[in-house]
Structure 1
């Protein structure tokens, strides 16, 4: 039997603390060789700006194979539709049975914030108390919850183009007892923040390296997985010690990295390593308090597999979802 889990089911089941632990394990397992994270494929045709990205993974610990099909369709914005949609399929590594089909919106949001938290735990200064957010939507709210689980955050500094968005953000995060300051420009976020998360669907840089201060950690999260889109300018990438979720994925889909490489300002060899290598103790992360570290978060299928295992197990335990016999 296959379990169908809707976005409403998954919103009830999502647990940030458990997801952070699962994501941290998943990163390490890639490096240890007990999980397989293939290089990505991006499907597109000349007549359309749409891209379809199959994100696959295989893992011993979770005994799963998984694929998420991400549809990235910018033209949907004009029709009032989501520009990104995704669906996750989980299959038993042992029998090949399709165990579950999940709407991808909630898992993607939660595991993305969890990945930033794992990166901040390993690359940020452990005394980081001010969280900066460039962007204030649902992903920003999830990042606040995630960062509170790994760092002693006391204050949030946030910027968005929309005051409606920042008003909604403030209302959602004040329950955490944090000081929230809304600023008038992205540069002001960097003036006081210890950790900064960039969470905009930018196609051109909204973040400039001249703003970076010694000791900061940046999670570059928001840009679409396309080689010609970026949030961070070339100076920002050059000034930072760069870590990625997957070298192969970043080399295929990260405009933040590939544009400076095309300009000759960086080479792919300048990437310090994968986050999993830091988690597994194979390479150092932050070397000094003055380091500017940057996690280039493009998104990998192994993280969908990791949270998928949690959500599937939780749904079975709580009796959620619709069971369907696909073989009939």
Structure 2
């Protein structure tokens, strides 16, 4: 089995290639060529965390695997990462485990790539100003992916902790040729933005104003019915709401469930799955004034196609550690 650490994945990362891999997963899912059960979430109440199990297969593109990821917000208090996990990738022909990949970094980049694909098809081509609400572990992947598909010149940041926002701003200014401004008020941070990204664990809307004409929003933080990042007025206002999976999003996303319960939105108003747009079975952005939203809850088919991308690249480049789990055995080899 090949073991790939987060540093291995970072050394191999090409965000444009990851966006391409994720796009394949989205197409396969929307064409009903994957088996992707809804995630299983096990609350760990004593620690205030969640353990999440996400299996999937996509036989046509040779993918079989499962992601385990945990989100334990209290880890911040003890100086540990909030998100931890692994992806187990198997040989599609034999079912043998062939790779174990560190999943927190993979998840960040996979989620970023999903937003990158959505931005490619839904944001205005001339978008220059990006607003980012939330500067946690997902934020850097979001920025990298959007920079891969749009020529962003200015980034406007808001976070509950101004210090963390300032630290993130300084970090990205060192990495990318963009100007960065930090705002204490989220409504001010989205003013003038062409693209808005929300990547928080909030249970209440992270901004209160409506969306300006022509804005595209990637809402990627919430993944449970009690969580939400967008106000109902923005959900009601949008001309196009696009998702990875209609079934999963309606069942898991408070951003849509709560407006549905309020009578301000209905599931039949979901415009399309992103895979349908990528495969030209549904329209992306059609004019300059549309307000578009990509609501992401994450799905395992994306994880396993990204795992395959890293696994195959690692084999070509000789990256990672090979571990022998055990030699072949049978009942005949066991002594009485």
Q: Same fold (TM over 0.5)?
A: yes
Write the distance in 2 (CA, Å) between the matches of 1:70 and 1:132. Answer: 27
Q: Which has the larger radius of gyration?
A: 2
Mark the CA change 1:167 to 1:111 in structure 2 (over 3 Å): closer, same or farther: same
Partner of 2:168: 169
In the alignment, is the contact (CA less than 8 A) between 2:210 and 2:233 conserved in 1? no
Mark the CA change 1:301 to 1:77 in structure 2 (over 3 Å): closer, same or farther: same
Q: Is 2:298 the counterpart of 1:302?
A: no
Write the distance in 1 (CA, Å) between the matches of 2:54 and 2:265. Answer: 27
Partner of 2:279: 280
Write the distance in 2 (CA, Å) between the matches of 1:258 and 1:82. Answer: 29
In the alignment, is the contact (CA less than 8 A) between 2:2 and 2:99 conserved in 1? yes
Partner of 1:68: 67
> What is the deviation of 1:118?
0.6
Partner of 1:183: 183
SS at match of 1:213: coil
In the alignment, is the contact (CA less than 8 A) between 2:68 and 2:85 conserved in 1? yes
SS at match of 2:94: coil
> What is the deviation of 1:106?
0.8
Write the distance in 2 (CA, Å) between the matches of 1:114 and 1:313. Answer: 18
Q: How does 1:11-22 map to 2 (within 5 A)?
A: 11-22=10-21
**Residue-by-residue CA offset, 1:15-45 (whole Å, 9 max, x unaligned):** 2111011111221122233433333333348
Give the structure-2-normalised TM-score: 0.89
Mark the CA change 1:106 to 1:47 in structure 2 (over 3 Å): closer, same or farther: closer
Aligned length: 325
Mark the CA change 1:259 to 1:77 in structure 2 (over 3 Å): closer, same or farther: farther
Partner of 1:312: 311
SS at match of 2:221: coil
> What is the deviation of 1:264?
2.0
Q: How does 1:43-82 map to 2 (within 5 A)?
A: 43-44=42-43, 50-82=49-81
**Residue-by-residue CA offset, 1:123-177 (whole Å, 9 max, x unaligned):** 1111111111112234222222211211121211111233332233223322422
Write the distance in 2 (CA, Å) between the matches of 1:308 and 1:177. Answer: 30
> Once superposed, what is the RMSD of the aligned Cα atoms?
2.1
Write the distance in 2 (CA, Å) between the matches of 1:30 and 1:314. Answer: 23
> What is the deviation of 1:72?
3.3
Unaligned runs of 5+ in 2: 328-336
Partner of 1:226: 224
In the alignment, is the contact (CA less than 8 A) between 1:190 and 1:213 conserved in 2? no
Q: Is 2:95 the counterpart of 1:96?
A: yes
In the alignment, is the contact (CA less than 8 A) between 2:69 and 2:104 conserved in 1? no
Partner of 2:289: 290
Give the structure-1-normalised TM-score: 0.91
Q: How does 1:67-216 map to 2 (within 5 A)?
A: 67-174=66-173, 175-208=175-208, 210-216=209-215
In the alignment, is the contact (CA less than 8 A) between 1:85 and 1:105 conserved in 2? yes
